[in-house]
Structure 1
C-alpha cells in the first residue's frame, strides 16, 4: 500500500482547536460538540477538511445518498472558511483575460460558463437548509484610477460575451450612491453577488450534512494517508478511516500530510478588523449595504455586518505569518476610505491563511484513482470552493467532464521551489504594488 508520509510526525496547525478571537466566532450560531475520532472505522468516502471545499463536497455527496465521513483537524470553519471577508464574488482570482492568455480560448470559455455557479450553490444551500448567515445582496469592484477603470470596462465586456449580464459599470457619481467615499473614480457592481457571515454558513452546511446522514469528526488531525488499488486508509492521531475514496480539501491548512501537494501552493495571510457597532453612521457610509473590494493587486475589501460594524480587510503576508499588530496594518487603509471612522473603536482584529497558487487558478486532480484533491483558490475561495465541491462530487458520481478539464490544466511551480517561493512572491508583490500606486 502506498503511503504519503512515512514520518507521521505532523505538527498540529491549530494549537488548541478553538476558533480565533474574531467577530465571526463571537457572533456564531450554536454548534454541537462533535467527537474526536478515536476508533478504526469504515465508510464509502472520507473527506479531509471542514472548510467550504470539504463541506460542499460532502453535502453534495450526502444529497445523493453516499456514506460520507468528514474529518476536521480543529472545528468546522476554523480556517479561511470561517475567517474570510464573507463576500460572494463571482469568478476566480485569475481573470478570464489571464486564463485566456495562459490556457487558450477553450479553457477560458469553459471557465466563463462556470464562474457564477458557486454563487448559486451557496444560495441553494442557504434556502434548502434554512441556514441563518445574514445573506445580503450585491458586490462592487472599485477603481482608484482611470487605468483600473479601463480594465474594469474590458472585464465587463468579456463577462457580457459569456452571457453574464448582471454587472453594471458605475461612474464616480454612480458609485457614490452605493459607497459614500471620494476615493474611487468608478467601479462595477455585480447584482448577482452578495455577502454572508462566513462561519455561520459553514456551520449551517455542516448541520445539513449531518441531517442527510453524514458523519463529522472535529479535532481529528490527519497524519498520513495510505492507498492502493484495493482501498484507502486515512490515519489520524487516534484512529483510522478505511474507505473507497478520499477527497483532500485541507487547502492552506493541509500541513505536510501530502508532500506531493505541499509545493503546489503557498499559505498567505490576510487580516480583518471589526469596529464597534456604528448605528446610523453605518448607513451613511454604505447606504446600499453592499460589499466592496477594490481592484488593486494587494486589495482592500469591506462590508457591514448584521449589527452594523465595519468589517475591513486587506493586506497580505506571504508564508502565512500573522503581522505583529493587525490594527496598525489595516486601520490606515480604512481611514483613507472612510475618514469618519478615525475615532471608531476596533473591537476585533484577526488574521487567517488562504492557499495561493502561482497561476492564481485553483487546482484539482488525483493522486490516485482513490484520492482526489482541490485547493489553491488564491483569496477568492468562497464561491470557487463551493463550485469545486460540486465538481468533485459529480466526478465521484461518474460525471468527470468538468473535473477532467481542471485536472488537465497544468500547475506552475513557484520559482525557486519551496525555499524561494516567499521571497520571489514578495518581490512580485512590490512590483504590482508600485503599479497600483502609480496607476500604470
Structure 2
C-alpha cells in the first residue's frame, strides 16, 4: 500500500506546533462531509490552489464545495517560507529553451499576474498576514553572483523587469551580515508574508462568497463521468466539475498526477525573539533564499524571530529532532546563532516535478489539476487556482499556457518515490558540501 503523507507525520485534524499556527487567528473547525451532496464544482484540497479556485468560482456565481482531508492550510500552504517570488520556478532562460520565446513571455506575464493576484487578494479581503516587499537571492561565490547579475540584466532587457538591485559582496553584507555570502540580488517586486494567516484569510473570503467547506473529509475515490462523484468516508458529492488541488498530499488519488509530482519534506525553525540582535541577521525586512541545491531560506518575523528553513531529509518520515536538523545549516550561515534558543521547529510536505514547473493538466473533460510548485507556490498556487476557475467557466488561455509546459514522469512513477528521493537528496547534499 502506498504511503499516504496525510497521516505520516501529523496529528489528525491538528496543525503542527509551528510559529505560524501559534500566531494565526484560527478558524472554527468546519464539519466533515456526511450524506449525499450536489454542487456545480468540487474542489479537493484547501491549500492556496483550492482556496483560490473555490473563491473565484463562488464569486462568479457557481455553487462550490471545498473538501479538505485535514484543516484549512494544513499542508505546505500553512507551513512554507512565506516567499512570494518573481517569475516561474524555472529561470526564464531555461523556459526559453524548453517552450520557446513566445510561451516564455506568456509564462513570465502569468508569473507577474500571480504576484499581483496575491497582493490584490490580501488588500481586497483585508487579510492581515504581514505582507512586506523584498526577496534577496544570496550567493556563495563570485561566479554565482555574476550569474545572478547577468540574469537580472536579461530580465530587464527582455522582459522589462526593473525591480532587481544587483548586490556585490559589500552590499550583500550590508543587507545580510553573514560571512557565507558573496553578493547576489535584491528583488523589491517580490514579497514575503505569514503563509497560514494568508490561507485562513482566503478561507474566510471563500466562506463569505458562499463556498461550502468540509474539513476532516479525506477523498477516497473519484468516479469520473459527465457528472463526477467524489467519495469520502462518510459522504459523497456529485458535481459537474472537479478540481484536484492536493499537491504533496495527493497520494494515489490520480495515477497520472502521482507519476509526475513527487512529495518532499522541508523544515523550518523559529528562534526566540532576537531583539536588537536582528541587525546581525538582516538589516531590512526582506526574505532571503540562497543558491544551495538544498536551499536555505529565511526572514524575520514581526516579533523579531529568525525563521530559518533548511536541512536535508532522506525519507518521508519527519526526523525526531527537527530543531537540530535545521540548526546545522542555520549555524553555517549565522555562526553567532549556533546555540540560540529555538522556540518552534516543524516540517511540511511540498511537491516537486522533474522540470521544477507545476504540473497543470486536464485529466478528463471535467477534471482539472494543478500541483508540483517546487517551492514556488505562494504566488503560483494561488494563480493556478484562479486559472482553473477561469477554465471551468470556459476561459482557458492561461490554463492552457501552463498545461503546455512539458512535465516528464518520474522514472518508475510513484512506485519509486522513496528510493528516488533518497538518491536525489544524497546527490544534492553532496554537491552542496563540495561546492559544485
* Aligned with residue 197 of structure 1, among 194, 198, 213: 194
Q: Alpha-carbon deviation of 1:151?
A: 1.9
Question: Is the CA contact (8 Å cut-off) linking 1:283 and 1:289 kept in structure 2?
Answer: no
* Aligned with residue 39 of structure 1, among 27, 35, 50: 35
Further displaced range: 177-186 or 43-52: 177-186
Q: Partners of 2:311 and 2:46 in 1: how far apart?
A: 25
Further displaced range: 339-348 or 366-375: 339-348
Deviations 1:151-174 (A, max 9, x none): 212221222211211111111111
Q: Partners of 1:429 and 1:285 in 2: how far apart?
A: 27
Further displaced range: 317-326 or 41-50: 317-326
Residue 128 of structure 2 aligns to a residue whose secondary structure is coil
Question: Is the CA contact (8 Å cut-off) linking 2:167 and 2:185 kept in structure 1?
Answer: yes
Deviations 1:377-407 (A, max 9, x none): 0111111101211211111121111211222
Q: Partners of 2:365 and 2:343 in 1: how far apart?
A: 48
- Matched with 1:173 is 170
Indicate yes or no: 2:308 matched with 1:298: no
Q: Partners of 2:311 and 2:153 in 1: how far apart?
A: 29
Q: Alpha-carbon deviation of 1:105?
A: 2.3
Q: Partners of 1:12 and 1:426 in 2: how far apart?
A: 20
* Aligned with residue 111 of structure 2, among 92, 103, 115: 115
- Matched with 1:409 is 405
Deviations 1:80-110 (A, max 9, x none): 0000011111233222222222332233222
Q: Alpha-carbon deviation of 1:199?
A: 0.5
Indicate yes or no: 2:342 matched with 1:346: yes
Question: Is the CA contact (8 Å cut-off) linking 2:228 and 2:240 kept in structure 1?
Answer: yes
Indicate yes or no: 2:359 matched with 1:363: yes
- Matched with 1:4 is none
User: 1:15-414 counterparts in 2 under 5 A?
Assistant: 15-160=11-156, 161-229=158-226, 231-317=227-313, 319-414=315-410
Question: Is the CA contact (8 Å cut-off) linking 1:274 and 1:311 kept in structure 2?
Answer: yes
Residue 404 of structure 1 aligns to a residue whose secondary structure is helix
Question: Is the CA contact (8 Å cut-off) linking 2:47 and 2:77 kept in structure 1?
Answer: yes
Q: Partners of 1:225 and 1:320 in 2: how far apart?
A: 26
- Matched with 1:3 is none
Q: Alpha-carbon deviation of 1:112?
A: 1.7
Residue 406 of structure 1 aligns to a residue whose secondary structure is helix
Question: Is the CA contact (8 Å cut-off) linking 2:134 and 2:191 kept in structure 1?
Answer: yes
Q: Partners of 2:136 and 2:153 in 1: how far apart?
A: 16
Deviations 1:135-186 (A, max 9, x none): 1221100001022112212221222211211111111111222212222111
Equivalenced residue count is 433
Further displaced range: 278-287 or 295-304: 278-287
Q: Partners of 1:338 and 1:330 in 2: how far apart?
A: 12
**CA, structure 1 residues 327+223, in 2 after alignment: closer, same or farther (shift >3 Å)?**
same
Q: Partners of 1:181 and 1:300 in 2: how far apart?
A: 13
**CA, structure 1 residues 279+436, in 2 after alignment: closer, same or farther (shift >3 Å)?**
same
**CA, structure 1 residues 15+326, in 2 after alignment: closer, same or farther (shift >3 Å)?**
closer
Question: Is the CA contact (8 Å cut-off) linking 2:312 and 2:325 kept in structure 1?
Answer: no
Q: Partners of 1:340 and 1:365 in 2: how far apart?
A: 47
**Over aligned residue pairs, what C-alpha RMSD do you find?**
2.1
Deviations 1:274-300 (A, max 9, x none): 111111112442120111000222110
Q: Partners of 2:409 and 2:4 in 1: how far apart?
A: 23
Question: Is the CA contact (8 Å cut-off) linking 2:311 and 2:328 kept in structure 1?
Answer: no
Residue 241 of structure 1 aligns to a residue whose secondary structure is strand
Q: Alpha-carbon deviation of 1:111?
A: 1.2
Unaligned runs of 5+ in 2: none
**CA, structure 1 residues 438+146, in 2 after alignment: closer, same or farther (shift >3 Å)?**
farther
